[in-house]
């Protein structure tokens, strides 16, 4: 009797090569998808971080101007500075003033007033502030980078229905306050951001000269109505 032996099926070299090629294509595609998703996630994280940075900077600026007070300042030479001073026509545009409501949870020996200065340097918006309003007591200056990627920082002051790009008064004189301040910040990724701040009339209650630097002045609240956008909304 004849016996029949079944032949075992085996892959040929060609089939193995084809299978390896298909597998490599699938793996390469999966890696590309993974890399794309990873880059998209990183990009989203950076975008979220950037948005948060812009929001925090604008919020800080709004709070500072909202708590602006009519407090003149004596520089290191004892000369009196204006209530508010700023300029947009120079290379490094800036805005300088004094605000109230500086929190003091550690109960340090300082006023709740804070003199500060926003300055545009290179592509950064810097915020300078001093421990004491009058630097003759302590001239230590603290600086923080508020925004990066800034292409323009423009400050405008409203007086008699005219917008001016500077508000500089000779030292030794108090001068007057503008009717409003408009801030324009241009970013290289988000474009222009601008805020309009109407100024309160401090002419009838200027009390800055009698402020004791170690007292608790400035607790009465903000000095103006706060910021609005260009359409006048709060």
Please give the distance of CA 132 from its chain centroid, rounded to a whole number.
23
Q: What is the mean pLDDT of the chain?
A: 78
Predicted confidence at residue 5, as pLDDT, reads 54
Q: How confident is the model at residue 74 (pLDDT cuts 50, 70, 90)?
A: confident
Question: What mean pLDDT is predicted for residues 86-106?
Answer: 85
The pTM is what? Answer: 0.69
Q: Which residues contact 99 (CB under 8 A, 6 or more apart)?
A: 64, 65, 67, 68, 69, 113, 114, 116, 218, 223
What is the percent of the chain with per-residue pLDDT over 70, rounded to a whole number? 74
- Residue 211, pLDDT > 80, answer no
Q: What number is the average pLDDT over the span 98-125?
A: 87
Average pLDDT over residues 99-118: 85
Q: What is the predicted pLDDT for the residue at 73?
A: 77
| 18 — pLDDT class (breaks 50, 70, 90) | confident
Question: 58: how many CB neighbours lie within 10 A of its CB?
Answer: 17
């Amino acid at each position: 009797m004849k016996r029949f032996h079944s032949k075992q099926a085996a892959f040929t070299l060609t089939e193995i090569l084809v299978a390896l090629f298909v597998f490599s294509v699938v793996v390469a595609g999966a890696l590309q998808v993974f890399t794309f998703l990873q880059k998209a996630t990183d990009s989203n994280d950076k975008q979220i971080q950037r948005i948060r940075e812009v929001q925090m900077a604008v919020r800080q600026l709004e709070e500072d101007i909202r708590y602006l007070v009519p407090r003149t300042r004596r520089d290191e030479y004892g000369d009196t500075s204006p209530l508010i001073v700023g300029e947009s026509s120079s290379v490094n545009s800036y805005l300088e003033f004094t605000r109230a409501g500086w929190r003091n949870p550690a109960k340090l020996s300082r006023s709740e007033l804070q003199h500060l200065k926003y300055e545009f340097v290179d592509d950064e918006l810097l915020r300078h502030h001093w421990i004491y309003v009058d630097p003759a007591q302590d001239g230590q200056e603290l600086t923080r980078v508020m925004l990066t990627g800034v292409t323009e920082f423009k400050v405008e002051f409203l007086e008699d229905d005219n917008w001016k790009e500077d508000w500089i008064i000779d030292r030794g004189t108090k001068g007057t306050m503008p009717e409003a301040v408009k801030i324009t910040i241009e970013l290289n990724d988000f474009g222009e951001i601008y805020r309009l701040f109407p100024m309160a009339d401090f002419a009838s209650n200027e009390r800055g000269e009698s402020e004791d630097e170690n007292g608790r002045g400035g607790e009465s609240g903000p000095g103006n109505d706060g910021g609005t956008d260009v359409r006048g909304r709060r």
